[in-house]
Amino acid sequence: MFFKIALSVLFCGIALATGETYEGYKIYDINARNAHDKDLLLRLSANEKYDFFDLPKVMGKPARVMIQPQDQNDFEAALNRFGLSYQIINENVGRTIAEEALQNSRVFTPKGGISFAKFNRFDEINAYLEELAVAYPSRVMVKTVGKSYEKRDMKAITITNGDGKKDKKVIFMDAGIHAREWIAPAGALYVIYQLVENFAENAHLLKDYDWVILPVVNPDGYEHTHVQARMWRKTRKPINKNCFGTDGNRNFDFHWGEIGASGMSCAETFMGETAFSEAETIVVRDMMHSLSGRAKFYLTLHSYGSYLLYPWGWTSELPETVDDLDEVAQAGAEAIKASTGGRYTVGSSTNVLYAAAGGSDDYAFAKANIPIAITMELPAGGSGFDPSPAQIEPFVSETWTGIRAMAEKVIAKY
């Protein structure tokens, strides 16, 4: 009994030390039986008190939502009134966060390396990139491509095979535009690790292509989730005295401000006061255009839900080249299924998940003229959102299997 009490006190201490505790928050899975149920869930998602992680349009995948304690009775009453069945998959998000913080703190990262047994802090990620540039100077270049609102250096890594050839075609990849999606930067780091430190097995991916990777698009938000509020999603630039941050994936100037984006400054999907109002999205935009003509594949990593999504996010209509987009995405899904049994849903963002105008993939495809633009939503962990530290390596290894297959398909096509 003493051990349990002491452990509980320790967990609470960790949570309090990191700001918002999320004590008593619950995560619900809600099953939709038909299109009418989907419409009911869409109505519920309009309530900004309800933090929907996933609102799939495809049947058979539950919606997932986090609810704070003071809203749980009303929320459950609404579900019962609508006749929607649900399951509480996490009874106390705060406790889960505290437990996983403790696990994360126990992992030691060796000097000159990176650990895939924990979620790394932003400075650790940047340090790893710089260490690779020193260790592999003929194949790796690291450049500060901009600064975040809070003046953190945003570093991108360019990975080559060292043959010195200029103006190769490019695969451009980013991750972490949503702060709380920690597994996304971890996935990007694993790609970097495979291409650089496991070069012999992956040399064919670098023969005719360079890879340019920005592992954390939203460093201010990412650090905020480590020290203050684990489930923070947006950037950190103040909007007014009450609201901070913009959803970077609603801030790109292609159908900006349309369906799936909010004009409410405190909303999780706030689109920003203008398109490209955020220093971080400007960096991504400028990188896209600097690679114009060379970039053939843009991949952005998110979580969660196991999706491979392509344009459009602003309409249910499909691009003329949908067959090319689908071919690449299906290659990733099939490789993952063959390797681990993991099942990814493939399709256009609006048709299989939800509308989200102003996204980076639509912009890359339409404005930067990158022929293949895909959003990869990684799977959820057992706690309902990101995986625990112990699950990171299996998750990112599976992710790499899909990315490698998609890259091989792009290289063969272009």
Residue whose token pair is 């928050």 = 25
Find, among 256, 252, 310, the residue nearest to 283 by Cα. 252
- Enumerate the active-site residues: 377
Find, among 340, 310, 235, the residue nearest to 280 by Cα. 235
H helical segments located in 106-218: 122-135, 183-197, 199-202
Long-range interactions of 202-208: CB distance < 8 A, separation 24+? 202/404, 203/161, 204/408, 204/411, 205/404, 205/407, 205/408, 205/411, 206/159, 206/160, 206/161, 207/161, 208/168, 208/169, 208/411
Q: Compute the C-alpha angle 48/54/57, nearest 5°.
A: 110
Spatial separation of the C-alpha atoms in residues 354 and 302, rounded to whole Å = 14
Find, among 167, 263, 282, the residue nearest to 218 by Cα. 282
Residue 301 backbone phi and psi in degrees, to 5: -95, 135
| Token pair listed for 269 | 């999907």
* DSSP state letter for 217: S
Contact 130, 143 (CB under 8 A): no
Spatial separation of the C-alpha atoms in residues 171 and 296, rounded to whole Å = 6
